[in-house]
Amino acid sequence: MKPIRSFLFIPGNKASWIEKSVTSGADALILDLEDSVPPSEKATARSIVASKIAWLAEKRQRVYVRINRSPYLYDYEDLMAVTKPGLEGIGISKPNGCEDVDTASSMIAEAEMRNGLPIGGIKIMPLLETARALQFAYEIACRPRVPAIVGATARNADVARSLGYIWSADGRESLYFKSRVVMAARAAGKYPIGGLWQQVHDLEGLAESSRRDRALGMSGELVLHPTNVPIVNKTYTPSPEDVAYYQGMIDALEAAETAGRASVVYEGEHVDIAHVKTAREVIELARSLESALN
């Protein structure tokens, strides 16, 4: 799967917001049927979302839907309604562990069969919002339908309540579980997704928070507001300075190899083939993002 830098949440009951979101620049949308929809509009939201998927796919907009759950089960009717051509995946909130992901996977297979889709095509993006899901992050990340796991933090939100921590700007209290999500995802060959900045109008705070997640190894993050998308996209895109730095590294090692050496000191640091592999990956990522824009 191609990486996703920005997942933009949109309340499922807001048809016009969904339509406008295709211009947001978000790599993927998450049409939300859950906490951002008032109870009285759940049914409306479900049918709005179901009706918009094909249109969004036509616009080449990648789309996920976050479904509701009771204390015991993900919402069967939600799943039946939105498992349609054009949907990339389902976002599931607050799984209690691998069992919930497996159950969701079986329910989605049922929906795929009933709705005539190929079995196994719809992805699951689990939001690891309970302590137990975080404890089993690696096992969850290994599930075949799961291309990415989310380790997000926000003051007073679900993860904070489940772990009992107190949110801070420097994130000392979330360093462990965010790092754990990064390692679990990477170990399983999947993407680690960070966030979640809920002071949506503080864009400098967002940029700083986003840089911190990127530095830990996240490959993208959840976003609550369209204005936040470009800032997040920028964080997860190699800058021209990055590209120049890494190209220089490649050139330096090539020169060294011509001279019969396997390593070189480049900008003050020992560099060998291991570093050049990293350099090539960064440049390749920069190129693929650029071509996606054109």
Q: Which residues between 175 and 214 bind a second copy (CB under 8 A)?
A: 175-177, 179-180, 182-184, 186-188, 192, 198-202, 212, 214
Q: Which of residues 54-73 bind a second copy (CB under 8 A)?
A: 70-73
Specify the stretch interacting with a second copy by CB under 8 A; choose among 17-25, 59-67, 145-153, 258-266.
258-266
Cβ of residue 78: shortest distance to a second copy, in angstroms? 13
Indicate the Cα dihedral angle 73, 156, 14, 118, nearest 10°. Answer: -40
- Give 29 or 159: the residue with its C-beta nearer to a second copy: 159
Cβ of residue 163: shortest distance to a second copy, in angstroms? 5
- Build a one-symbol-per-residue string for 25-44: x at contacts with a second copy by CB under 8 A, - elsewhere: ----------xxxxxxx---
Q: Are 98 and 64 in contact (CB under 8 A)?
A: no
Site for a second copy contains 240 (CB under 8 A): no
Residue with structure tokens 């570093």? 275
Q: Which of residues 76-135 bind a second copy (CB under 8 A)?
A: 76, 99-100, 102-103, 106-107, 109-110, 113, 119, 130-132, 134-135
- Give 57 or 200: the residue with its C-beta nearer to a second copy: 200
Indicate the Cα dihedral angle 221, 5, 10, 127, nearest 10°. Answer: -40
Site for a second copy contains 222 (CB under 8 A): no
Site for a second copy contains 248 (CB under 8 A): no
Between CA 258 and CA 261 the distance in angstroms is 7
DSSP string, 130-179: SHHHHHTHHHHHTSTT-SEEE----TTSHHHHHHT----TT-GGGHHHHH
- Give 64 or 236: the residue with its C-beta nearer to a second copy: 236
Cβ of residue 176: shortest distance to a second copy, in angstroms? 3
Q: Site size for a second copy, by CB under 8 A? A: 89
Q: Are 238 and 285 in contact (CB under 8 A)?
A: yes
- Give 60 or 166: the residue with its C-beta nearer to a second copy: 166
Binding a second copy by CB under 8 A: which of 58, 244, 265, 290?
265
Between CA 220 and CA 125 the distance in angstroms is 13
How many helices (H) and strands (E) would you count in the chain?
12, 10
Site for a second copy contains 49 (CB under 8 A): no
Fill in the amino acid letter for 199.
Q
Between CA 112 and CA 145 the distance in angstroms is 13
Q: Which of residues 132-171 bind a second copy (CB under 8 A)?
A: 132, 134-136, 138, 154-158, 160-166, 168
Binding a second copy by CB under 8 A: which of 260, 291, 292, 293?
260
